[in-house]
Each structure stands twice: as C-alpha cells, then as structure tokens.
Amino acid sequence: MKKSGFLLVIFAFVFAMFFGVSSNAVADNCTAKSASKTEISKDIVETAMANDNFKTLVAAVKAAGLVEALKGDGPFTVFAPTDEAFAALPEGTLEALLKDKEKLTAILKYHVVSGKVMAGDVVKVKSAETLNGQSVAVKVDGKKVMIDNAEVIMTDIVASNGVIHVIDEVILPREAGKRSEY
C-alpha cells in the first residue's frame, strides 16, 4: 500500500492509551466515542501508563521491548486493547505470550500503524498496513468501526507522537495465511 493511502488508513492502538475507558463505556451504546483532546504533552507510552485500563498493554509493551520505539517521533496510530480485552483471551494465552517475546512483538506491532489517522479519516480506507507488515481490515458499519474483529470503542486520544483508538479485543495477525489462534 502506498504511504499516502496508508497514512489515511491509520486510525488506531496497540500501545498507548487513554482517558477513562471502562466497561460502562462499552455498555453505554457500543458506538465509538471520542476522548477529549486535552494534555498532548505525553507520548503514546506515557498516555497509556497514565490510564488504569491499560496495565496489561503497558506490561506487554515493556515485555516486548517496544517502549523506546513507541516513544519515538512517530507519528503512530495505535489500536489499543483494554485490560478487559486481554482478559478475554483464552486462559494461559497472555502468560504464554509474555514468555514468547517474538510472538508478543508481532502481535503488538499488529496494533500499530505508521502515521496519524484520526477517526474521521477511517471511512476513506478499507485496510491499513501495520508495523509488523500485515494489514488490518477496516470496516465501517453505521456508527460502528471495526478493526479486524475488534470494535473501536473510543477514538482520537491524541498523544504528542500520534493517536490512540481503543478497541475491545486483542487483534491477532495471520500465521501462514490464517489468523493466529494464539
């Protein structure tokens, strides 16, 4: 995908986070919500660390050795799963991933797109190339925005080096032509 089209495609989370995502935010109406655009002096990692809903994501980013990369200039679009999204993985999956740095890194990079894509731009794209080299599918269905099988539940959390969009599931890259079942 060409970089210009790719930049539009990026509306995204894997690693940095936000202002007040809770199960109530999802239960309210299952539509994407925009976070207030205050405090943009923090980078993606610092933004994630400041939010209690991203403890698992932050731990995973640290375990994968991606902190410095995500503190870089960017810009990045991150599709960030909540702690609830990680908790929904099959039992033992998270623990196994934290011990398998290569697989963990591939999954986390699958949540990050190069460039800064705001929610309003996502309707212009059908896919976005992630930092792991694979593309995520982007689908807009009414007020719902889906990244692969994950619903975007909060959008446009602006950081100094990009933007974060919160998703309700951990998205998994393909392995040998199919989605990972890890």
Kindly tell me if the per-residue pLDDT of 22 is higher than 60: no
Answer positive or negative: Cα dihedral of 158, 108, 131, 30.
negative
CATH topology for the 3-160 domain: FAS1 domain (2.30.180)
Per the document, the length of the chain is 182
Tokens of 152: 């975007």
Give the integer Cα–Cα distance in Å for 83 and 100. 19
Kindly tell me if the per-residue pLDDT of 153 is higher than 50: yes
Task: Label residue 10 by pLDDT band (50, 70, 90).
Answer: very low
pLDDT given at position 13:
30
Task: Label residue 33 by pLDDT band (50, 70, 90).
Answer: very low
Task: Label residue 175 by pLDDT band (50, 70, 90).
Answer: confident
45 or 17: whose pLDDT is higher? 45
pLDDT given at position 141:
87
Domain ranges of the chain: 3-160
pLDDT given at position 86:
96
Tokens of 140: 């807009």
What is the Cα 42 distance to its own chain's centre? 17
Q: How many CA atoms lie within 13 A of 60 on its CB side?
A: 31
